């Protein structure tokens, strides 16, 4: 029973829609190959469910793929600026240009977004990610990571500007 899920908290963690002690009924998408059923879902919006969310054994109620969080509202692309300092939370930096009509020019600006990181993803600082808006998870966290694109800064050759318009 307990060996099918990854227990990292003091309280016993289990998925809400999965009955552990017996045969699971066919509710939602539950796959089990001898080790118990696991609930996962497709969040839509053109994002694929990660393989780790389908085959993994973590329990995260704030994960958009295995928890009860729905993605609605804004989708934002940015670069990971802080990872590993907070538990399951990363900080995204989004660079953009702001137009100044008086001078007929643009100025560089940025915004920082704290976002929940599901255990289905492995990211490090400098990776490019897509985050989706969800209900408030904590005082400051209102976004959830839905896709990891890979290293953004590492792929650019030396001497090339890293600031992109979008």
> Length of the chain, please?
166
- Percent of all residues in the chain with a pLDDT value above 90, rounded to a whole number: 50
| 110-122 core/surface letters (b: 16 or more CB in 10 A; e: else) | eeebbbbbbbbbe
Phi-psi sector, 143: left (phi>0), alpha (psi -120 to 50), beta? beta
**Each residue of 131-149: pLDDT tens digit?**
999 999 999 999 999 999 9
Residue 34 has pLDDT above 60, yes or no: no
Residue 80 structure tokens: 């990971």
| CA–CA separation, 96 and 118 (whole Å) | 26
Q: Is residue 103 within 8 Å of residue 77, measured between CB atoms?
A: no
Residue 152 vs residues 6, 42, 76: alpha-carbon distances, Å? 31, 26, 15
| CA–CA separation, 159 and 120 (whole Å) | 34
In the structure, what pLDDT confidence band is assigned to residue 37 with cuts at 50, 70 and 90? confident
Residue 104 DSSP one-character state: T
Residue 102 DSSP one-character state: T
Backbone angles phi, psi at 8, to 5 degrees: -120, 0
**Each residue of 43-71: pLDDT tens digit?**
988 999 999 888 888 888 899 998 889 99
Residue 50 CB neighbour total at 10 angstroms: 19
Q: Is residue 112 within 8 Å of residue 92, measured between CB atoms?
A: yes
Residue 118 has pLDDT above 60, yes or no: yes
């Amino acid at each position: 029973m307990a060996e099918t899920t990854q227990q990292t908290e003091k309280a016993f963690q289990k998925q809400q829609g999965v009955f552990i002690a017996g045969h699971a009924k066919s509710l939602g998408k539950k796959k089990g190959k001898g080790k118990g059923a696991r609930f996962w879902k497709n969040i839509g919006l053109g994002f694929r469910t990660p393989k780790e969310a389908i085959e993994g054994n973590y329990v995260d109620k704030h994960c958009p793929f295995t928890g009860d969080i729905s993605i609605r509202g804004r989708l934002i692309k940015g670069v990971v600026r802080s990872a590993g300092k907070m538990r399951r939370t990363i900080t995204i930096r989004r660079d953009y240009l702001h137009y100044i009509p008086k001078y007929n020019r643009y100025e560089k600006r940025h915004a920082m977004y704290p976002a929940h990181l599901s255990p289905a993803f492995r990211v490090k600082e400098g990776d490019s990610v897509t985050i989706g808006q969800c209900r408030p998870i904590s005082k400051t966290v209102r976004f959830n990571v839905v896709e990891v694109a890979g290293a953004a800064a590492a792929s650019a050759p030396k001497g090339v500007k890293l600031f992109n318009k979008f």
